[in-house]
């Protein structure tokens, strides 16, 4: 997998792909991710788990980028959440500061979507912590396909998980670096 700026034509021996999507609707927030890991034009693994719960509280994170880099970011985010419990945005801003200024972290090639019952955020290696304008966000090579599909489905009768699954299936039909082996995590937003 690679950063969004890499392309298979320019870096054939780097990791590529992934699709991570978050949807908020009807008292639920869902983060879904595909399982494909590619190296150049070869599928290395089809069932990678790129979405997981982080820390002791109700936080879900999904990553697009290098797997080793993502594990480093998961650990750093968990540390920040321990320091700032129940303050997802603050923990993410602190992680983004470190990511941008720490010499080791600056070399990491990944993006993350994180969500708790109250907010969804995208973290990037350039120090950005972004909030969506609406109830959906997508990252990774198939992220824009899944995002467009989810936006189109928001007004339907489908719930958040159904929208996420359908949007991810659409992305998998379009993006060669995305498959239909999904990891889906859900949080109830009405309990907070």
List the structure tokens of 147.
């995002």
Q: Nearest-CA neighbor of 163 among 17, 26, 18, 19?
A: 26
Q: Which residue has the tokens 């697009």?
A: 64
List the structure tokens of 177.
């670096």
Looking at the annotation, which residues are catalytic? 18
Query: At 189, is the secondary structure helix, strand, or coil?
Result: coil
List the structure tokens of 117.
């019952």
- The full DSSP string for 21-32 is EEEEETTEEEEE
Q: β-pairing, 110-115 with 120-124? A: antiparallel
Q: Nearest-CA neighbor of 22 among 172, 171, 139, 192?
A: 139
Q: Strand runs (DSSP E) across 26-59, as ranges? A: 28-33, 37-39, 42-45, 51-53
Q: Which residue has the tokens 């929208």?
A: 163
Q: Nearest-CA neighbor of 110 among 50, 78, 70?
A: 70
């Amino acid at each position: 997998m690679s950063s969004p700026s890499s392309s298979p034509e320019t870096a054939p021996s780097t990791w590529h792909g992934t699709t991570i999507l978050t949807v908020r609707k009807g008292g639920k927030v869902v983060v879904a991710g595909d399982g494909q890991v590619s190296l150049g034009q070869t599928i290395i693994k089809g069932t990678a788990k790129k979405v997981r719960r982080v820390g002791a509280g109700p936080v879900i994170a999904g990553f697009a980028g290098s797997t080793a880099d993502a594990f480093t970011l998961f650990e750093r985010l968990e540390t920040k959440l321990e320091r700032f419990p129940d303050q997802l945005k603050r923990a993410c801003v602190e992680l983004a500061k470190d990511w941008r200024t720490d010499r080791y972290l600056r070399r990491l090639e990944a993006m993350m979507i994180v969500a708790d019952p109250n907010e969804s955020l995208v973290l990037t290696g350039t120090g950005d912590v972004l909030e969506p304008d609406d109830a959906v966000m997508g990252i990774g090579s198939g992220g824009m396909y899944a995002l467009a599909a989810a936006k189109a489905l928001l007004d339907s009768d489908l719930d958040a998980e159904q929208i996420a699954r359908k949007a991810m299936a659409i992305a998998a039909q379009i993006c060669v670096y995305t498959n239909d082996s999904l990891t889906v995590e859900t949080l109830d937003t009405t309990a907070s």
